[in-house]
Amino acid sequence: MITDVELPEPEKSLPGATVNSDQGLLMWISSVDHKQIGIMYLLMALFYLFVGGLLALLMRVQLLVPNNHFLAPDAYNQLFTMHGTTMIFFVLTPAILGLAVYLVPLQIGANEMAFPRLNAFSFWISLFGGLLLYFSFLAGGAPDAGWFSYAPLNQTQYSASPGIDYYCIGLLLSGIGTVATAGNLAVTIITLRTPSMQYKYMPVFVWMVFIDSFLILAAFPSLNAALAMLLIDRQLDGHFFNTDAGGSALLWQHLFWLFGHPEVYIVVLPPFGVLSEVFQVYSRKPIFGYPFVVGSGIAISLLAFGVWVHHMFATGMGHTVNSFFAVSSMLIGIPTGVKVFNWLGTMYGGSIRFTTGMLFATAFLVEFTIGGLSGISFAIVPIDWQLTDTYYVVAHLHYVFLGGSLFGLFAGLFYWFPKMSGRMYSERLGNWFFWLFVIGFNLTFFVQHILGIIGMPRRVYTYPALAGYSALNLTSSLGAFLMGLSMLVFLYLLYDALKRGKRAGDNPWDGYTFEWLTSSPPPLKNFTTLPPVYSFRPVHDLNHPEIGDYKKPDEEKYGTKDID
Amino acid sequence: MGDQNSVDEYLSAPRSYMETLSMLPSLLRPAAAQADRIASLTAYFTIAALLVLTIVIGLLIYIVVRFRARPGDAEPEQFTGNKVVEGFMIGVPTLLVIVFMYLTLDTMADVLPPDSGTQPDVVITGHRYWWEASYPGTKAIVANEIHLPVGRRLLLHINAADVIHDWWVPALGAKMDAIPGRTNHLWVTITKPGVYEGACSEFCGAQHAWMRIKVVAQPEPEFRDWVARKAQVANPVLSASAQAGAAFFSRQPCGSCHRIRGTAATGAVGPDLTHFASRRTMLAGLMENNPDNLRQWLTDPQHVKPGALMPRFIYPKDSINVLVDYLSSLK
């Protein structure tokens, strides 16, 4: 069925999640296998998740009580800058790339990525970009101007430590890796699908990664250009953003958010794809409105490039600009909202299995709806004028990045863990982790909406003891510690599953897509032969021929025909 | 002394917990016409958002309870879509978007019409880490505690001296970035006298947290008195110790950053100190303005407010004492 791919790699590989096999660590370091690189991406994300989480816990200790002196202001400012930068660039981005690199070839019936060596290069340069960023702590100070590093605060006269130089170089390096992976994924999806897999038969996850790749290819150049310009300002006395020398403070914001807003969708579209798979399989039904889900993904990716100024409504740019971006930002709420109802429709009428993955997916629906709705308050310009740059934003962005992206990623991680490791995790531990994490998450961030409404700006290292501030900040900090505790449970869960987990078998969830056809973990060569594809659920067709989609005409397959 | 009274009331009147709550700087307690418009828009939005959230959560709970897998379940019916449902899925949000689009554009035009080119009533400049306010047409220049008249539509010009700051007093409406190289503006029509808390809302460096704002809104005649007093040069120095402090101040480099009108000190980097002692707080809301705190600050500024631009001058104790006496006399 598929052409064997000749690849410059050893005969034997270690596609599993353990390194204690005969070829050892060196095999992983030299690997160009997409499964190993995918797992390394995920491990990198996990490592930085713990580091970034630790930074956040230190911040929450400082904010436990008003007028606290646990951290000096410059230390706090470095911590929140590194926390944001780490979570966006070195947790969420590698996590989605890791899942994509691991799963896309499997789901489209390929044995490798289109460019396996480029794949390895991308991973390693991203990893070293992150390590270089962290080296700044030893080199005289971490970046301290926030993850979006506004000009002119990012200039040498206002931030004299080399932190921001490391920020530029670290993000440039990892950005190069991200762009290369995106190109690699797009080419892989275009050229390496099993011949009978038409675009309309691609799994939703593959569709989302496909769309995402173009988003990355279009958005990251703006960031990379801005970083290069900033580096020129700092190292060669350029004047792009140096207002003291006639540069423009707003130019940086335009370049950064032209990347920054699409980045929000870059890290949320693949989780949308993950959730679409998770909802389908655990509800025992096909996705509700496949063309809708894919189409709204495309709509989001196009609109994503026309909404960046909603980060800048308070910069005084005038009504014409503000009105345009208010309208576009509200419009992007429609395709995003539609998806929530698609997933509800997928669950409706199903036979829902509440595994840990499904619990995260279900909780996602609530958390992401809260995050999406609070996001609309920033499209409504006058409300944005009140709430932007307050703790309300902090609450909103965590509901989107955690409640949206991370919950989706956790759902996917539990869903695919048996495939990646070949072992089942403990549902009991999974339940503990889920409930601790969800309760901790909502305690931490829900109250921050209120803090913003009662006037607390974001990025303050301490606050006066105004009524309400102390109690709400204390609640938020306690929630953060609870999340920290849940992450320890998560770590133990992983250890326990790898050590003692039952063998998973090829298809423990009765999954629908090609990755469930091969062994768990998959061998170096994913497939030798594949059945032909007649729907977006080829393995379901194979395992349930009596109710398989392949029998149906297309309009019924996609729900474009009314069903009574 | 009207201004002093209202600030006094604010700081020292005994009050119940509920009263304290009512003083919270919140967009939901508008004290200006513009804030009022935004508050009602926020209320409409909150209702719509809660409605959507209730629908999603309600549906989810129903689905979770009703369609939970039961042992022995066969594969359920494999339906893949429903045109009518999908029509509603797009139609209802689109309708909501159209309604809020209209409300947004309408409120925007009302709250922040373009600067008409008239002279601003107040020019506000963000500095690391304090606020300066000057009143065009008068000689008054103040810092951090900014008085405004009630009942008149005011034009505020907002600038920055170094990095981007952001002017935000929730009870008075929109926030506005103070951007170096640009002049932004805000319109404010204060409806109720009172003291309103605010803070810099764009991260501006080490002491972003202590760049707080107090707006004292007072009736027009009181406000006029206040401006007239702030426009005057510094009081003549009376006590011997304060005179020694004045002499010390002019001998030392203080005047290259600070201005005391009526003396040779004309610096424009730090806050204007002409009427320093009439402020209730110092260091942009960090602490109460009293001789002890002032002494602590002059002894080691970087300990009190690390990262502030005031360098540590290693002065003998008695020099600092006379300096404190001098500054405390600048009512």
Categorize the per-residue pLDDT at A10 as very low, low, confident or very high, splitting at 50, 70 and 90.
very low
Q: Do A558 and B38 touch (CB under 8 A)?
A: no
- pLDDT computed for residue B311 by the predictor: 93
Domain boundaries, chain B: 240-327
- pLDDT computed for residue B24 by the predictor: 67
Integer CA distances (angstroms), B73 to A344, A350, A352, A509, A511, in order:
20, 10, 10, 15, 17
B64: which residues sit within 8 A by CB, 6+ positions away?
A347, A352, A362
Q: Do A381 and B75 touch (CB under 8 A)?
A: no
Structural domains of chain A, ranges and CATH numbers in brackets: 30-557 (1.20.210.10)
Q: Please tell me which residue of chain B has the smallest CA distance to A323.
A: B105
- Mean pLDDT of all residues belonging to chain A: 91
What is the arithmetic mean of pLDDT over A542-550? 81
Angle between helices A290-303 and A333-347 in degrees, nearest 10: 160
* Selection from A430, A412, A406, A425 nearest residue A515 by Cα: A412
Q: Do A292 and B94 touch (CB under 8 A)?
A: no
Chain-centre distance for alpha carbon A55? 19
Question: b/e map of A41-73 (b: 16 or more CB within 10 Å)?
Answer: bbbbbbebbebbbebbbbbbebbbbeeeeebeb
Please give, rounded to a whole number of angstroms, the shortest distance from the CA of A558 to a CA of chain B. 6
Over 70: is that where the pLDDT of A445 sits?
Answer: yes
pLDDT tens per residue, range A332-381: 999 988 899 999 999 999 999 999 999 999 999 999 999 999 999 999 99
Q: Do B162 and A158 touch (CB under 8 A)?
A: yes
Q: Please tell me which residue of chain A has the smallest CA distance to B309.
A: A158
Q: Do A288 and B56 touch (CB under 8 A)?
A: no
Please list every residue in chain A whose beta carbon sits closer than 8 Å to the beta carbon of residue B86: 289, 292, 559
In chain B, alpha helices (H): 2-12, 17-22, 33-66, 83-111, 220-231, 240-251, 291-299, 301-304, 317-328
- pLDDT computed for residue A330 by the predictor: 94
CATH superfamily for B240-327 is Cupredoxins -  blue copper proteins (2.60.40.420)
Q: Do B81 and A382 touch (CB under 8 A)?
A: no
Categorize the per-residue pLDDT at A558 as very low, low, confident or very high, splitting at 50, 70 and 90.
low
Please list every residue in chain B whose beta carbon sits closer than 8 Å to the beta carbon of residue A560: 81, 83
Please list every residue in chain A whose beta carbon sits closer than 8 Å to the beta carbon of residue B197: 455, 466
Interface test with A, best of B78, B85, B127 (most A CBs within 10 A): B78
pLDDT tens per residue, range A82-124: 999 999 999 999 999 999 999 999 999 999 999 999 999 999 9
How would you class A452 by CB atoms within 10 Å of its CB: exposed for 0-12, middle for 13-18, buried for 19 or more?
buried
ipTM for the whole complex: 0.92
Please give, rounded to a whole number of angstroms, the shortest distance from the CA of A246 to a CA of chain B. 8
Categorize the per-residue pLDDT at A22 as very low, low, confident or very high, splitting at 50, 70 and 90.
low
Write the residue in B28, B60, B174 that is nearest to A382 by C-beta. Answer: B174
Over 70: is that where the pLDDT of A20 sits?
Answer: no
Give the residue, B1 or B230, on which the prediction is more confident.
B230
Please give, rounded to a whole number of angstroms, the shortest distance from the CA of B125 to a CA of chain A. 15
* Selection from B142, B316, B328 nearest residue B230 by Cα: B142
Over 70: is that where the pLDDT of A79 sits?
Answer: yes
pLDDT tens per residue, range A275-306: 999 999 999 999 999 999 999 999 999 999 99
Please list every residue in chain A whose beta carbon sits closer than 8 Å to the beta carbon of residue B164: 150-153, 249
Q: Do A334 and B93 touch (CB under 8 A)?
A: yes
Q: Do B162 and A152 touch (CB under 8 A)?
A: yes
Please list every residue in chain B whose beta carbon sits closer than 8 Å to the beta carbon of residue A457: 166, 168, 199-201, 208
Over 80: is that where the pLDDT of A455 sits?
Answer: yes
Write the residue in B76, B89, B201 that is nearest to A351 by C-beta. Answer: B76
- pLDDT computed for residue B45 by the predictor: 94
**Hey, what are A534's tokens?**
């007649």
Size of interface A-B (CB pairs under 8 A): 296
What is the arithmetic mean of pLDDT over A323-327? 94
Write the residue in B94, B105, B179 that is nearest to A250 by C-beta. Answer: B179
Q: Do A453 and B26 touch (CB under 8 A)?
A: yes
- pLDDT computed for residue B217 by the predictor: 93
Please list every residue in chain B whose beta carbon sits closer than 8 Å to the beta carbon of residue A342: 89
Total residue length of chain A? 564
- pLDDT computed for residue B3 by the predictor: 43
pLDDT tens per residue, range B38-79: 999 999 999 999 999 999 999 999 999 999 988 888 888 888
Q: Do A284 and B81 touch (CB under 8 A)?
A: no
Integer CA distances (angstroms), A32 to A40, A112, A118, A268, A546, in order:
11, 9, 9, 27, 40
Categorize the per-residue pLDDT at B14 as very low, low, confident or very high, splitting at 50, 70 and 90.
very low
Write the residue in A350, A456, A560 that is nearest to B81 by C-beta. Answer: A560
How would you class A366 by CB atoms within 10 Å of its CB: exposed for 0-12, middle for 13-18, buried for 19 or more?
buried
Q: Do B108 and A455 touch (CB under 8 A)?
A: no
Q: Please tell me which residue of chain A has the smallest CA distance to B109.
A: A319
- Mean pLDDT of all residues belonging to chain B: 90
Interface test with A, best of B29, B80, B165, B210 (most A CBs within 10 A): B80
Categorize the per-residue pLDDT at B4 as very low, low, confident or very high, splitting at 50, 70 and 90.
very low
Write the residue in B81, B175, B202 that is nearest to A558 by C-beta. Answer: B81
Which residue is listed with tokens 């063309």? A291
- pLDDT computed for residue B29 by the predictor: 85
Q: Do B60 and A365 touch (CB under 8 A)?
A: yes
Write the residue in A249, A327, A373 that is nearest to B180 by C-beta. Answer: A249
